[in-house]
Structure 1
Amino acid sequence: MAGIPQLPVELLMKIVSTFWHMPLSATERIIFMRSSALVNSTWAEIYSFESSRDVYIPSAAFCDHFIERIRSPRATTLRTAAPSFAATVMALFSPRPKQCESITIQIAHDDVHPHKDRPMRMPMGGVLDTLLETINAWSLVPNLRRLSVEYMNAGFDDIFARAGFAPLPEQITHLDVRYSFSDAMPIWLAESLRRKQEKQRRFRWRAVGISHLSRSGAGSRRLSIRKDALR
């Protein structure tokens, strides 16, 4: 709009970067991603650069388009007929496979009141499996060094039982595992999940390339990954 001064590019870069790396929920991140395509061309270009370097996977649809773009960087035709969220954002997304240094994915339990007769369902866990297998098999994103897995409203044993970490690309040296609970999760239930967690003694996967491991949201007794699982 005329009469409104433009902010310095350096300040815009700081704003986009700061907000992009905040611990947002999947819904909040989708809103930011969608909105970034509507501000202006400068904002969109800054967002494109930032989101290409540190990639966040908030939905299965976005993961599908991300894989399609890094496998065919010059492709411009999207499969979706309607302008869905993923199509809108990926049309803005600049795939730059060599620029991608980190990928963050949130695996959320779809029910904040799990019951022993109703096992946890975490569809994004399957998305993580597909993503890692594709990157590893096709030697994509060669500069990828960090994988962050954010669990929401979930127990602490999924990472130990998951076979999907078997194809963890060897170039990944940093593994971050974070646990959190939404406001809708009763406090007593979150504490119950923590108390019931037992020490894991067997692993179905090994991550020989990992040199840095960080975890948050779980006590030291709840998440203890043995060194021989990493080397």
Structure 2
Amino acid sequence: MSAPQLPVELVERIISTAWHMPLSSDERISFMRSSMLVNSTWADTLDLVSSRDVYIPSSAFCDYFIQQLRAQAPAAATTSPSSFLSSFLRGANQPPKRTMRRRPANLACKSMTIQIANVMTHPDKHTHPRLPMGAVLDELLETLDARSLAPNLRRLTIEYLDAGFTDVFHRTGLAALPPQVTHLELRYAFSADTPVWLVEALREKQTRQRHIGWISKSITHLSVIGAGKNTVSDLLRACPRVQRFHGEGLKFK
């Protein structure tokens, strides 16, 4: 006797809660792959949630996501779009048959989150962090703007891990931030084993930026979590039309 099916509304609530948890890139990819193997309802619901609130866990996923946005742009949209998520994961596991119709990825995307992690052991004010996902963000934003993709994208969240506070001001991709993006959220976090004194020093000794490489007049909502007052002041300079601001203290992961 097979187990009873959960109501679709409950499945969506479970998946949405798990999807928006602060997962690492590896944890998120594992969750994506596992979800594709539960059943068609679970897989389809993950497609729905993940295409609306997109997380970019790797450069490979970003490349494939851009391909799907371009393929499913209005001029090339089909009446029965395939799941970009299941297609991306098909190399490892064959996903179940699709049972729900989905909006094209290009129209479904409303928010986007990317984690930029320092691959070095700990941040240091005397060394430059290595941030490979920063280049991924730049390419993604420049492509979205140049090709007028993701017209319903409204929120961009950048999660910095062990990365310090200056990188955001030099991200070339933010100069091409699509005009439809009105909400920008910056989250700064540090590994649990990072010395507290080092984190406090990085935060409190962060000076004002002499030069900011981008200005966005479309951002009206700004959220900054884990940064000091000088970083916040510089972000407000970069986003001069902010109407609502939210800020919180430092977080450790």
Residue 72 (structure 1) aligns with: 71
Distance 1:214 1:116, change over 3 A: closer
Residue 15 (structure 1) aligns with: 14
Cα contact 2:123–2:162 (8 A) shared by 1: no
The CA distance in 2 between the partners of 1:112 and 1:187, in whole Å, is: 15
Residue 142 (structure 1) aligns with: 151
> What is the TM-score when the length of structure 1 is the normalising length?
0.87
Residue 3 (structure 2) aligns with: 4
> What is the TM-score when the length of structure 2 is the normalising length?
0.80
Distance 1:34 1:107, change over 3 A: same
The CA distance in 1 between the partners of 2:91 and 2:136, in whole Å, is: 18
Q: Compute the displacement of 1:167 (Å).
A: 0.5
Residue 34 (structure 2) aligns with: 35
Residue 218 (structure 1) aligns with: 227
What are the superposed Cα offsets for residues 138-193 of structure 1, whole Å, 9 maximum, x if unpaired?
A: 00111111111010111001111222211010110000000111224333332232
**DSSP 3-state at the match of 1:169:** coil
1:194 matched to 2:220? The reply is no
Unpaired stretches in structure 2, ≥5 consecutive residues: 73-77, 241-253
CA RMSD of aligned residues (A): 2.7
Cα contact 2:113–2:157 (8 A) shared by 1: yes
The CA distance in 2 between the partners of 1:226 and 1:189, in whole Å, is: 23
Aligned amino acid, residue 15 of structure 2: V
Which runs of structure 2 are paired with 1:103-182 in the superposition (5 Å)?
103-115=112-124, 118-182=127-191
What are the superposed Cα offsets for residues 125-147 of structure 1, whole Å, 9 maximum, x if unpaired?
A: 00000000110000011111111
Residue 61 (structure 1) aligns with: 60
Is the deviation greater in 189-198 or in 144-153?
Answer: 189-198
The CA distance in 2 between the partners of 1:226 and 1:108, in whole Å, is: 20
Cα contact 2:216–2:238 (8 A) shared by 1: yes
Cα contact 1:135–1:141 (8 A) shared by 2: yes
Distance 1:171 1:67, change over 3 A: same
Unpaired stretches in structure 1, ≥5 consecutive residues: none
Identical aligned residues as a percent: 53
Q: Compute the displacement of 1:105 (Å).
A: 0.5
Cα contact 1:65–1:86 (8 A) shared by 2: no
